[in-house]
Chain A
């Protein structure tokens, strides 16, 4: 992938990610999150992970965001009215986040292999869905079935939680 496209999608993802955090209106936040996830899917595809990129669009930009927007609509949330901001707590939060950022930069700067470019693939085409499927139903068969049970439990839990209490 050309460096221009990498920086374009990376900046798209980061700028809209910041917009998610700073927006006061939850609907605007959710729509910014969709764009951020689309940029992330483009980055996945730039890393030759086509299957992951596609399920990123389908699951996150599709299903999860529809769920978020649906809940915001159901709760009828308005843009938050301005509350008194606790400046000490906010400054503390920013300081902790900046400390984390400095640590991440420090660790990545000291990795010896982080300056290397990606090695070329053997073939021009890769069938990653085939390979992921083989791994998923072979080596990772038990985790896969446990995940299935987890999704079933989550479905039943969501139905139970949103059921109205009988009066």
Chain B
């Protein structure tokens, strides 16, 4: 049978994949996609807990699903602003590579 632990482990592995993407890749757009993977890993564990912790009427705990709804909305807004910043940066520097953007580097 599939237990809560299985969903949590899958969610943890997805988070680590996103984290490794942020740490290893140097392309801003790929880093952004990895951030989305991490947000979605958090969503998966929230929904698993919502299904696991039944409310009194025998229905899932919908507070967690409302939280997931908010996370998805904020992530969509974040992607819109972040990609606009990347476009502005590309116009100024003609690059999306983080190692080429080192003016503020000490």
Q: Which A residues are within 8 Å of any B CB, using their own CB? A: 1, 3, 6, 10, 13-14, 17-18, 20-21, 26, 29-30, 33, 36-37, 40, 43-44, 47-49, 51-52, 55-56, 59-60, 63-64, 67-68, 71-72, 74-75, 77, 80, 83, 90, 92-94, 96-98, 100-101, 104-105, 108-109, 111, 113-119, 121-123, 126, 128, 131-132, 135-136, 139-140, 143, 147, 150-151, 153-155, 157-158, 161-162, 164
Contacts and interface: CB of A to CB of B under 8 A. Distances in A.
B7 A21 contact: no
Nearest to A13: B14
Contact of A143 (B10, B21, B58, B70): B70
The majority secondary structure among interface residues of chain B is helix
Interface string B1-34: 1111111111011111111110111110110111
Given A21-B25, A101-B16, A158-B84, A59 B2 contact: no
A21 B1 contact: no
Interface of B: 1-10, 12-21, 23-27, 29-30, 32-34, 36-37, 40, 43-44, 47-48, 50-52, 54, 57-60, 62-63, 65-66, 68-70, 72-81, 83-88, 90-91, 96-97, 99
Contact of A114 (B8, B23, B83): B8
12 contacts: A3-B2, A18-B17, A21-B17, A26-B30, A40-B43, A44-B47, A47-B60, A52-B65, A64-B76, A64-B79, A117-B3, A140-B66
